[in-house]
Amino acid sequence: MANDTQPRWDRKMQQRLARGEAAALGELYDRFASLVHSLAHRVLDDDEAADSTTRDVFGYVWENPHAFDPREGPLRSWIAALTQRLAASRLRQQQRGGGPLGPERARQIEEKVRAASTAARADYIVTSMPASLRAALELAYFERRDYRQTAEHLGVTEDEARRRLRLGLQLLSSAMTLPPGVASPAPGETPAPPHRMGQQQ
């Protein structure tokens, strides 16, 4: 499948999982485990919890391959969104500690969950965006280069450097709005695993 286009690879992987091919799950794990664990850890800040969430994600994909809809985005994005949702649900459970919650405590928990989910989504967007956009953002915002220095370093015109920065920032700004499948439920609600979660990029 090395020569397959990504959409075709995604559809084939879904079909193989639906047939119960254990080798397909192993291939999927090899490809996406580091992404899943990294996103889960960004939300939970705990290795053991991230490990458990990683197992939950691949267990869900194995048991529910048809929950992925190729028409709504790539498999990688669906898995990332699933990870963020399950990790956010686990964080809520950890924060509640099984006891009753007052309105203020519930609000604090939801703020923490949203902040962690936003940070994880921003990480995902940065690592998934084209290398040319990521390089421009890193130069301008982490190394404090101006447009001229960024353009010179990348070997492009200043207009092109501005365009790349503008596009990169637009992508990052979408991290502030979680996609429908990752929306936070009301306090006290236990979210079900998502069934249709495309990623908007």
Q: Which residue, 167, 160, 197, is CA-closest to 180?
A: 197
Q: State the Cα–Cα distance between residues 194 and 86, nearest whole angstrom.
A: 9
Describe the crossing of helices 103-128 and 75-96 by its angle, rounded to 10 degrees: 150
Q: State the Cα–Cα distance between residues 79 and 59, nearest whole angstrom.
A: 12
Q: What is the DSSP letter of 183?
A: P
Q: State the Cα–Cα distance between residues 120 and 123, nearest whole angstrom.
A: 5
- Tell me the pLDDT tens digit for each residue of 146-157: 888 999 999 999
- Tell me the pLDDT tens digit for each residue of 68-126: 998 888 999 899 999 999 999 998 888 877 666 677 877 888 888 888 888 787 888 87
Confidence tier at 186 by pLDDT (50, 70, 90): very low
Confidence tier at 196 by pLDDT (50, 70, 90): very low
* Mean pLDDT to the nearest integer, 180-195: 38
pLDDT at 64: 96
Residues 6+ apart with CB under 8 A from 87: 39, 40, 43, 44, 49, 50, 53, 116, 117, 120
* Mean pLDDT to the nearest integer, 129-138: 86
**Cβ atoms 24, 32 nearer than 8 A:** no
Q: State the Cα–Cα distance between residues 100 and 84, nearest whole angstrom.
A: 25
